[in-house]
Amino acid sequence: MTTVEVRSASVRRLVAQGALELHLQLRTDDPGAGDAFFAVLDELNQVNADGGTYAQLGIRSPEGFVVLVDSYADEDALIAWLEGLADRLGARGVTGRLEGVTSAPSPRWLVDDQRPVPTAFVAHRFEAGSLAANPAQCGWLGGPELTARLCEWAATWSTPGGPSAIVGRDDFRFAVEGDDGIAELLRAGLQAGAFTDVLRTDDSRHVGRHVALAGAALATAQVLGRAIDWSTRLHLLREAITALPATTVHAAVRPASKTLISWSGLGFRHRLPAPLKEGDVEANQHLLGRYVYDAHGLQVLTDEHLTRARDLTGWLVSDLGHGRHLVEAADLAPWFATDLPDPAVVDRARNDFGTMLLTLDVIRAEKPPFPRPRKYDR
């Protein structure tokens, strides 16, 4: 039988810090060890189904595999569980070590600044067929080709943000050395979970870039740091929303919280037109190629979007090919020179966009081509 070492001191340290739930890593050089690791965890979870130590949300890490231990009776019981896990892994031929690990934190300068930043929200074509076949799934719905292209784009676009790199998978984030392999880490994260993200920062200059990929082929991108003026920031976000026009069904730049990882915060900093809510947008993504959830100073629209507009004579419209168009305000300062856009400018833009704006009447009339949880009924 091979040996898996238990680094109990690292686990006890996390318990001493007051962690009610903690992350455990199997550090191993064997990429195939994950199947055995997760199978053994399932076995132990069944044994402890009525109480005791329980582990879930297993993901691949740059150095092996990580799992969340979200319940345990006490420290001694947790260590005994770890030793049992190590014995079962060794019996399956796995080598490596088990250790407690912590999620990589965002830099302090980023955490301390709570102001919103212009954020690119990009919706791509997703595989509605797989959702129709399995309505309960909540993972990534981008096809293999789109996934590869998006992960490569995310790694490349974020790199100028700085030398420090953090890659996140679901609720855990890893510090990553060097630039190589980030695209593959993102792709592997989407295969295993619902979302992934990459944060690149230059902590000496307090600047960075962040990209998140989540759910039904939804992306967000941000340029971080107050040292970057608004026009430069907007130029970079324009690049982000026009990078993949062939698969983009709608994209827009609007204020949002920093390092946002999903569209659930779409209207938190800048409210959507009442009575629309974030859930209405997320649950009706099939409509985004024809309707928009709001008017913005900078966005990508389809041919069909444009047919629904009331009056775009005051807007700059550029053809991107593939039936996509970059539509931007003639004067961008009222939209982006301050933390939030000028309300009067937003109201006029909403009027210009006319019946392009998504409404509850449209949502009720045009049901998605797949079952939708009842919680989204309006």
> CATH number, domain at 40?
3.30.70.100
Same domain, 261 and 349: yes
Can you list the positions of beta strands (E) in 271-370?
A: 298-302, 315-321, 324-329
Residue where one domain finishes, among candidates 101, 117, 146 = 101
Structure tokens at 27: 């550090």
Residue where one domain finishes, among candidates 101, 127, 153 = 101
Give the three-class secondary structure for 52: coil
Same domain, 9 and 33: yes
Integer Cα distance of 312 and 351 in angstroms: 10
Is residue 235 within 8 Å of 298, Cβ to Cβ?
A: no
Cα-flanking dihedrals φ and ψ of residue 233, to 5°? -60, -45
CB atoms within 10 A of CB 196: 27
Closest CA to 30 of 76, 93, 86: 93
Structure tokens at 237: 């976000």
Residue 133: predicted pLDDT? 44
Tens-level pLDDT at each residue, the chain (378 residues): 568 999 999 999 999 988 767 899 999 998 889 899 999 999 999 887 667 888 887 887 888 889 989 888 889 999 999 999 999 999 999 999 999 999 899 999 999 989 999 999 999 988 665 544 444 445 677 888 999 999 999 999 999 999 999 999 877 898 888 777 899 989 888 877 678 999 999 999 999 999 999 988 999 999 999 999 999 999 999 999 999 999 999 999 999 999 998 898 899 999 999 999 998 998 898 999 999 999 999 999 999 999 999 999 999 999 999 999 999 999 999 999 999 999 999 999 999 999 999 999 999 999 887 666 555 566
Same domain, 113 and 97: no
Same domain, 79 and 115: no
Residue 377: predicted pLDDT? 63
Integer Cα distance of 60 and 264 in angstroms: 25
Residue 135: predicted pLDDT? 44
Whole-model pTM above 0.85? yes
Can you list the positions of beta strands (E) in 215-336?
A: 218-224, 248-256, 298-302, 315-321, 324-329
Residue 126: predicted pLDDT? 80
Same domain, 305 and 370: yes
Same domain, 120 and 95: no
Same domain, 325 and 209: yes
Same domain, 323 and 371: yes
Same domain, 51 and 73: yes
Same domain, 168 and 250: yes
* Packing angle of the helix pair 33-47, 75-91 (nearest 10 deg): 130
Integer Cα distance of 113 and 164 in angstroms: 19
Residue 61: predicted pLDDT? 81
Can you list the positions of beta strands (E) in 303-375?
A: 315-321, 324-329
Domain extent at residue 45: 4-101
Integer Cα distance of 291 and 285 in angstroms: 10
Same domain, 151 and 26: no
Residue where one domain finishes, among candidates 47, 67, 101 = 101
Residue 48: predicted pLDDT? 76
Same domain, 270 and 353: yes
Domain count, the chain: 2
* Radius of gyration of the chain from its Cα atoms, rounded to whole angstroms: 23
**Residues ≥6 apart with Cβ < 8 Å to 370:** 128, 131, 132, 135
